[in-house]
Amino acid sequence: MEKKAKQRRKQILKAAFQAAIEKGYESVTLQDIANYADVSKGVTNYYFKNKSDVFTQLFEWLTTRIHEKEAASISEHETAVKKLEAYLNCVFSSPEENKNFYRVYLDFLAQVKNNDSYKEINLKFYENCWSIGRDIIHQGLKEGIFEVDDVEQTSISIRCMIDGSLIQWLMRDDDQLHEYYRTNCFESILKILQYKK
Amino acid sequence: MEKKAKQRRKQILKAAFQAAIEKGYESVTLQDIANYADVSKGVTNYYFKNKSDVFTQLFEWLTTRIHEKEAASISEHETAVKKLEAYLNCVFSSPEENKNFYRVYLDFLAQVKNNDSYKEINLKFYENCWSIGRDIIHQGLKEGIFEVDDVEQTSISIRCMIDGSLIQWLMRDDDQLHEYYRTNCFESILKILQYKK
DNA sequence: CATTTTATACTGACCGGTCAATTTATTTTG
DNA sequence: CAAAATAAATTGACCGGTCAGTATAAAATG
């Protein structure tokens, strides 16, 4: 009963995500969500307060899932450079998966200014990102391979570099450049960390 | 005659910009544009093919204007570091002006995936940005203060850093952080350029 | 059979674009 | 140069269509 409801909710969230990928956030209708979820139109309003409630929960779900994935991947490695590499391999997963997540994420970002819930969710996501950055920096400092004045500031810079790279790659919309932007991002971050072998 | 038409078009573009600042790209209606321009609803369709034509021209106008401003500001300085500083002072002008332009710009970016004209306009904008980066790098190399392997790649990284910083600042929506993100961006770029006094 | 869940039909609000009518500007003409 | 004719610009009512949300009916569940 309760379990089935949870399942339905996830099914609808996934449908909303798929619809957003293919139609773009703003033009997704309740009918689209129903179609992608293979249910009738009324169902969405039965399980969610309204459309914006669906998207708020979708945004939260997506950012949480991404962070968990990244954190898990990083914890599998020991050295700072390996961790950073794992981080970027998550962020730049595959061109397809990447495009899907990041296009929708960008749609959400564009809405942050009109929606305080989105703002809050994104801030939480940022904090998670910065935390990953900090961990990598601390590890590198312990290894004596990074030279960093201000850990907080540098972890912010890392995320700036990542977001900027992803957006630029996305806007150029060329799968071939995916690898290029990943390594470029990697090398630039190493310079920001003043990495020396 | 022809001049008056041009004036009207600009008036409508400005109104559309103002409407987008305050209401967000997607929710701007023809009526909004008319209200902000202080004309009646039919006027926009008289001077533009349709609504999307208005926004395409607005996007082009905004990005061109920004680049001209930046290029002009940079050419006023001689040394690489001064040029970079001038560049970032343009990019991070004032919190208010910044927010207005960049919020609307972000709206456009989110639409790029659905609109090839936007994609093309943004690519042109990127090329202008990279060109500014290249100029600064070449100047710094001539001065012997930067250490850069690949000029192209580095100019791309500079723009990544700038876009990432602006977006993160925008999302945190705290005017006090404006200065912080500017200097952080500046220092990170200097590290990417491996600047040494 | 009562409660929960799903399907369908409906409503009212809103929006982009059109267009006939009107106003304003420009040109022609006697 | 003034009146008439023409062209350009502006207005706002209106139409077709879409969509979120609701109401109601039907079906499934237990």
Q: Which residue of A has its CA nearest to B119?
A: A171
- The CATH topology of domain A52-192 is Tetracycline Repressor; domain 2 (1.10.357)
Distances (CA, A) of A182 to A35, A153, B22: 36, 22, 36
Instruction: Pick out chain A residues at pLDDT < 70.
Output: 1-2
Cβ A30 to strand D below 7 Å: yes
- At residue B58, the pLDDT reads 98
Rounded to whole angstroms, the Cα distance separating B34 from B111 reads 23
Question: What is the nearest CA distance from B7 to chain A, expressed in angstroms?
Answer: 30
Cβ B50 to strand C below 7 Å: yes
- At residue B1, the pLDDT reads 62
* Residue of B185, B160, B197 whose CA lies nearest to B84: B185
Rounded to whole angstroms, the Cα distance separating A109 from A59 reads 10
Rounded to whole angstroms, the Cα distance separating A28 from A188 reads 37
Instruction: Pick out chain B residues at pLDDT < 50.
Output: none
| Contact criterion met (CB < 8 Å) for A122 and B171 | yes
Q: Which residues of A72-108 are buried (b: 16+ CB within 10 A; e: fewer)?
A: ebbeebeebbebbbbbbebbbbebeebbbbbbbbbbb
**Strand ranges, E, within chain B:** none
The structure tokens listed for B182 are 């500017």
Query: Which of the 8 DSSP states describes residue A26?
Result: G
How many CA atoms, within 13 angstroms, populate the side-chain half-sphere of residue A148?
A: 30
DSSP string over A74-129: HHT--SHHHHHHHHHHHHT--HHHHHHHHHHHHHHHHHGGG-HHHHHHHHHHHHHH
List pLDDT tens digits, range A76-126.
999 999 999 999 999 999 989 889 999 999 999 999 999 999 999 999 999
Rounded to whole angstroms, the Cα distance separating B84 from B26 reads 35
Query: Which of the 8 DSSP states describes residue A176?
Result: T
Q: Which residue of B has its CA nearest to A162?
A: B164
The CATH number fitting domain B1-48, selected from 3.30.1240.10, 3.40.50.10320, 1.10.238.10, 1.10.10.60: 1.10.10.60
Q: Indicate the residue of A106, A111, A153 with minimum beta-carbon distance to B109.
A: A106
Q: Return mean pLDDT, chain B.
A: 96
- At residue B197, the pLDDT reads 79
- The CATH topology of domain B51-192 is Tetracycline Repressor; domain 2 (1.10.357)
**Residue–nucleotide distance: B44 CA to D16 C1' (Å):** 20
Domain boundary assignment for chain B? 1-48, 51-192
- At residue A1, the pLDDT reads 60
Residues in B touching A103 (Cβ below 8 Å): 113
**Residue–nucleotide distance: B18 CA to D11 C1' (Å):** 23
The structure tokens listed for A28 are 């997704």
Cβ B26 to strand D below 7 Å: no
Handedness of CA B3, B61, B25, A115 (dihedral sign): negative
Cβ B11 to strand D below 7 Å: no
Instruction: At A49, give phi and psi (nearest 5°).
Output: -60, -50
